[in-house]
Amino acid sequence: MKLYYSILSPYSQKVMIAFYEKGVDFTPTKVNFGDEAGRAEYAKIYPLGKIPLLVDESKDLFIPESTIIIEFLENEYAAQGTSLIPSDKTAARRVRFKDRMHDLYVSEPVVTLYFDTMKPADQKNPEAVAKARKTLDVMYNYMEQSFAENQFASGNEFTMADCAAFPGLFYAQKLHPFSQYPNITAYFQRLMQRPSVQKVLSELLPVLQAM
């Protein structure tokens, strides 16, 4: 299976963590969005130009969207590695809810903040930045209460919801720090200790340092 990705993308990181947790082999294929030719080449594969994308031509497999890719991994490799989506329907629903919360209300606001820092002064969007920060503050309060009772995002076991939580929190350390929230801070430290996260960081950190 070939995974089209960018290591800077939170959603690519989310899927890579899931692959490493499951112990499923894949072929990482970088998409160079900074190069016009690279963007054009990828557009031939997926005209929407979104990442990550999982492809296996031998099996007629074409799966975009990070959550759907992880759903596929859990369906096809349920007995392998970490169980990322519980078999119990109620527990699975809770994991999916937290997954969406982390994508939409942590990663997305952080992406807004990240790209705003890269814009010239006359192109910055203070209104969008203020909205993103407000959303993160709401989520931080929610998460702080949740982690007072739970080791991980949806209970005491690592799941898809944690794959989704790490990338946004990683970037948020600098863009909208959560150091005043002890439960979130402790949770983030637990995530940082996982081999799957360390493997993603081993590729991500050199890129960030070079930038």
pTM across the whole model: 0.94
- Predicted pLDDT of residue 33: 85
Interior/surface letters 63-75, b for 16+ CB within 10 angstroms, e for the rest: bebbbebbbebbe
pLDDT along the chain (211 residues), means of 10: 95 98 95 87 93 89 96 94 96 97 97 92 92 98 95 95 97 96 97 97 92 77
Q: Are strands 2-5 and 53-56 parallel, antiparallel or unpaired?
A: antiparallel
Query: Taking the chain, what is the end-to-end CA distance rounded to the nearest angstrom?
Result: 30
Dist CA 13 CA 169 (whole Å) = 12
- Predicted pLDDT of residue 73: 96
Contact in structure between 21 and 195 (CB atoms under 8 Å): no
Residue ranges of domains in the chain, CATH in brackets: 2-76 (3.40.30.10), 89-210 (1.20.1050.10)
